[in-house]
Chains A and B, each alone.
Chain A
């Protein structure tokens, strides 16, 4: 390392007219190993003497376990161990977020005890010397179950006389949350309104379905009484705490290691039964145990999401100005309270119901209801995608009713900049304080979207094509997203003697590009080439405590933690320099990777690494959550014969404050949009009347492919205020916004193409049979007269 150099500060400062990394569309630093086949996903790890586990799962949706016979499985060659609930201590898988009395009484045991409550519920685990042998033996475990009536439909499950999943509770409705003001006042407003639309909406079960299935590898070191677990993701520090509680080892004895993660999307990385079973087995047997989920298991065992039913009334005046709405939602939680508990999703759903619009009043309730299906949790855009679909469908129905264009009705109702700060009437999820919309510019974003796509021309083209008999439709929708939640995030930045810096952070990566964006921030603050910065997050033994990666929070929370740690490192270096050079600390200036120490009229530049080795910071700003807004425009064509929906064009605007890396952010937005298209047109976990899942392979659960995915034209709107010396200033947590409005946008465009049958389009996904049925309701030739006249959008 170079020794100190002497420079004139002014010259040096001007020589530093560097182009910041932040804001540039930089290709990712993560890519190389993933491109050459050198990634390290959980199944790529091996340990000497490793055994392989296979989970035996319930084949019955609801029943009493009479017996489980593992004798035949135990006798098979290579089988080392078989366990059932009888072998385990009486622990249950806890709820990570917002546990309630009811959720704590409906927790899932790691292995089913006396009852099974969904197909796919773990009932036994076989451990063998080879994964093929483990699977052979698992097939020999005989589970004798006395069937009970399965409860599958969320509305029937909520009935007073429904069969109960957890009889000790006396109901399947485990929790209920409300939002908004005085229900009676809302009812009065709706009664007195000129225009009232009432609809029931339903959304099917869908899920994250990452391309890499889950997996774990656990190894117990008896001498050190320590457990190491590979395969963590998303919230590894939380999971370490949970595992410590359940397995009875101190946190310091547990090490959770996150390898490369093949997609998360909210569901992967939460604490599931297997996250207890595999480490428990490794300790019990005294040999490393690996478990790799197969795709069928993944579709049955990973959290599901989205399934819900809405009853909604929306009132407006004759000009299409909204007055009030009243919503009643049933959230299908599945068989147990797991991971996200029973109130987080209902709360999120209600928080995103009112959207970017002004209301005189609203009221909503959402109940969490148990059914004999896979437990539910979050999936990208949780509690945001669904209410946005419902609300935006209703907005279009009101627009039809009063005879104005969908873009125009939104213009009339979107909260303006002049109305901010705007009291949303909602309470913050984390703090419970009133949520006030005080930044962003909702109309500006919507108008930029319309301008970018040439909305008026598009509308004219669509009307012309419709008159010519084409089944085409256009939609323009708006959304808000409450992003960037959290309580704290930490970072430790090391200065290495060779001039490199290593930032250890407590956030996680699920493939978004966290290393790249945090490296950009650090390189800008340290004034070094990005190659001299490394970001580490993988191992709980070496990185600080952290909350992890969820709700688009990693960049901003992780970034401010890194920035704080760099500041702490610089401050430490200044202190040491003051002592070493007998200077006044106030006169020493931190300058990126160095400090400048006065020496006569000149200044001595000393590299930080020669003065200090590390800086630590805990970022704990109170609430950092904020509101993001955006919109989508879609042009679609439907084929009434095949029921096919072709997405001809797609535009997406998203106000992100400031894009740290437009390349990766646009990548997030595009990917999210296509996931949302899967949710709008393809994806549904289907069940037979006896509770058997019908979608247990990629042949049945259809993900979008390149063939039906559109190009998404992304318009990032950056309204964030920039502050000197703060590369993150103005940035908001982004990444999920791409999915939030997509179901709504597809549905409204298809409804537009279906003309008079539009009011019947109330479900997601919109499968071909729905399109065929609705298209048959009204032939195109008959549509012209039934459709209200369009007013000019401008």
Chain B
């Protein structure tokens, strides 16, 4: 069974005729062509496919595309949109702190963390670790990711 779905990703409207069973992650990757969102497990554990739905992090592999009808989505491609060569402070901090290696999990981390960045400067390390414990990374051991979040949060606080 297919039906029409209309949703907004990164400010752009997508209207497609899709099967009802199509995962939102597959819609984002293969219908919208936004391949920055990665699929690591397709059962909601690894967090690699995390995107923001109306500003809140969600796992796009646990939603059907039709469930996102009428909602606003944001993916990693939007983080530094309009910033030219510059990176979003969180991306910049991941770069400087070596918070990524293979990079496959990275978009999921970025999209999970970004909404909490404004308050993250007040979080201690344990709270940050708890906040990202829903995202798996097999390369870094997390320590540099925690450092990157602390760095970005401090900069955002200083800047605001």
On A, residues with C-beta under 8 Å from B are: 27-28, 30-32, 34-39, 41, 43-44, 132, 209-213, 260-265, 294-295, 510-513, 663-664, 666-668, 670-675, 697-699, 703-707, 709, 711-712
Contact = CB atoms under 8 A, between A and B. Distances in A.
Given A675-B138, A704-B141, A705-B134, 14 more contacts: A31-B94, A37-B36, A37-B107, A38-B77, A41-B38, A43-B29, A209-B138, A294-B42, A674-B140, A674-B142, A698-B41, A698-B136, A706-B142, A711-B143
B43 A35 contact: no
A486 to B, nearest CB: 22
Nearest to A705: B133
B52 interface: no
Prevailing SS type, chain B contact patch = loop
A510 B95 contact: no
24 contacts: A35-B94, A35-B103, A35-B110, A37-B37, A37-B77, A37-B107, A41-B38, A211-B138, A211-B139, A212-B102, A262-B38, A263-B138, A295-B40, A295-B43, A667-B139, A667-B140, A670-B140, A671-B101, A674-B142, A675-B138, A704-B141, A706-B130, A707-B130, A707-B133
A201 B133 CA distance: 32
Point out which of B29, B39, B110 has the most chain A C-beta atoms below 10 A from its C-beta.
B39
Given A37-B34, A213-B40, A513-B101, A706 B80 contact: no
A211 B104 contact: yes
B79 interface: yes
A698 B139 contact: no
A43 B35 contact: yes
Contact of A671 (B34, B41, B91, B139): B139
Interface residues of B, number: 55
Contacts of A28: 95, 98
Nearest to B144: A667
Point out which of A210, A671, A699 has the most chain B C-beta atoms below 10 A from its C-beta.
A671
B91 to A, nearest CB: 4
Contacts of B107: 37
A706 B95 CA distance: 19
Given A132-B21, A210-B138, A670-B141, A36 B79 contact: yes
Given A263-B138, A670-B144, A706 B133 contact: yes
Given A667-B140, A706-B129, A211 B91 contact: no
A358 B35 CA distance: 54
B77 A36 contact: yes
B150 interface: no
Interface string B79-110: 11000000100010011101011111111001
Contacts, number: 172
A261 B102 contact: yes
A260 B40 contact: no
B96 to A, nearest CB: 5
A61 B43 CA distance: 25
B132 interface: yes
Contacts of A699: 43, 45
Contacts of A211: 38, 40, 46, 48, 102, 104-105, 136-139
B75 interface: yes
A703 B21 contact: no
Interface string B23-62: 0000001000011111111110110100000000000000
B76 A703 contact: no
B146 interface: yes
B19 interface: yes
Contacts of B21: 132
Contacts of A674: 140-142
Given A36-B79, A36-B80, A709-B142, A698 B95 contact: no
A180 B62 CA distance: 55
Contacts of B96: 27
A697 B102 contact: no
B101 A512 contact: yes
Contact of B138 (A32, A34, A703): A703
Nearest to B97: A27
Nearest to A707: B133
Interface string B104-148: 111100100000000000000000111011111111111111100
A209 B136 CA distance: 11
Nearest to B146: A706
Given A31-B94, A212-B104, A706-B132, A36 B87 contact: yes
A712 B143 contact: yes
Contacts of B144: 667, 670
Contacts of A30: 103
B101 A511 contact: yes
Contacts of A39: 35-36, 103-104
Nearest to A696: B43
Nearest to A45: B35
**Which 7 pairs between the two chains have the least Cβ-Cβ distance?**
A37-B36, A511-B102, A34-B103, A262-B104, A674-B141, A698-B45, A37-B76
Contacts of B22: 132
Given A31-B100, A34-B100, A511 B37 contact: no
Contacts of B98: 27-28, 663-664, 666-667
